Amino acid sequence: MRELTYAQAINEGIREEMRHNGKIVVLGEDVGKYGGVFGVTRGLYDEFGAARVRDCPLNEAAIVGCAIGLAIAGRPAIAELEFMDFTTFAMDPITNQAPKLRFFWGGQVSVPLVVRTPIAAGLGFGTQHSQSLEAWLVHVPGLKVVMPSTAYDAKGLIKTAIRDPNPVVFAESISLYSARGEIPDEEYVIPFGKADIKRKGDDVTLVALGPIMPKALQAAEELAQQGVDVEVIDPRTVAPLDIDTIVNSVKKTGRLVVAHVAHKTGGVGAEIAQQVVERAFDSLDGPPVRVAAADVPIAASQRLEQATLPDVAGMMKACLSFRQ
């Protein structure tokens, strides 16, 4: 199979869908000739033209609001927001309009909208450009939230997101944009709500979200040298969440660790842990452990930022804590 980077895989997925469906429109800041601030939309303007790949003013609320209008009018829209933090400028259209319009109108309209937005944690981009806000979005009924961790998953999931008649927030990872992975020559899609077991194991279940997955796999390999066999699970989508795969794993291992780069309090990790407690309490050998960012603003200094974010050592410590 070919190898593509995570960014190239997303680009290829969008390109294939735009070729299949001439109504799809891409909107965002610098998504046209420039190819996106991180190059993910590179080449789309040249192939599909300015009518379908539209540069927009620096106004996230307007970008998403316009995309919703296109979507309900029958033009599936892909709106790019340069950082996940900038979803805060568009929270009304993302959370108060797009997920509710189908409900408002009794199913008479669809909202085929994808909001693409990257997580920049760990790259020194500072307090207002480094947050992972998936927990805010998961709280909203009607909104799907996707967090791919590999190039293969990113392509399959972006195609599913574009085809979905409902709004989807597609949370990418800037730290993974250059990561390479094998991509089949033939087209494929990955269904929402289906977790992937990235590594099988019998001693501890480690659930890792999005950008932290490479570190989770590294922690698992290092723990294997200490005789601890870690099963690593990637939910891939956090809304819908494939809790069944996680629960079945915990029933086998008896132990659960959940890791994400979002802040610890109120994070998706807490929701996963609680659902496991509700469904597999008798299988647990100890309380679930969360490994997450400290509840402090993220510093621009990379040394301070690294001290704030979860790391390999933290996940290893959490997995080993059950031995005590």
Contact 269, 258 (CB under 8 A): yes
CATH hierarchy code of domain 196-323 = 3.40.50.920
Catalytic residue among 20, 129, 139, 263: 129
- The pLDDT assigned to 126 comes to 87
How far is Cα 187 from Cα 321, in angstroms, rounded to an integer? 43
Angle at 222 between CA 296 and CA 258, to 5 degrees: 40
- The pLDDT assigned to 166 comes to 97
pLDDT at 312 exceeding the cut of 90: yes
pLDDT in tens, 71-84: 999 999 999 999 99
* Chain mean pLDDT for the chain: 96
Structure confidence at residue 324 as a pLDDT band (50, 70, 90)? low
Three-class SS state of 6: helix
pLDDT in tens, 98-148: 999 999 999 999 999 999 999 998 888 888 898 999 999 999 999 999 999
So what CATH class is 2-183? alpha beta
- The pLDDT assigned to 1 comes to 83
In the chain, CATH 3.40.50.970 sits at 2-183
pLDDT at 323 exceeding the cut of 80: no
Edge to edge, what strands does the sheet with 25-28 contain? 53-55, 25-28, 77-80, 113-119, 168-173, 144-146, 237-239
Question: Catalytic site residue 129?
Answer: yes
The secondary structure of residue 129, as a DSSP letter, is: S
CB atoms inside a 10 Å sphere around CB 279: 16
* Gyration radius of the chain over CA positions: 19
How far is Cα 243 from Cα 276, in angstroms, rounded to an integer? 8
Instruction: Average the pLDDT over 213-225 and give the result.
Output: 98
Instruction: Average the pLDDT over 232-255 and give the result.
Output: 98
pLDDT in tens, 246-286: 999 999 999 999 999 999 999 999 999 999 999 999 999 99
Contact 309, 209 (CB under 8 A): no
In the chain, CATH 3.40.50.920 sits at 196-323
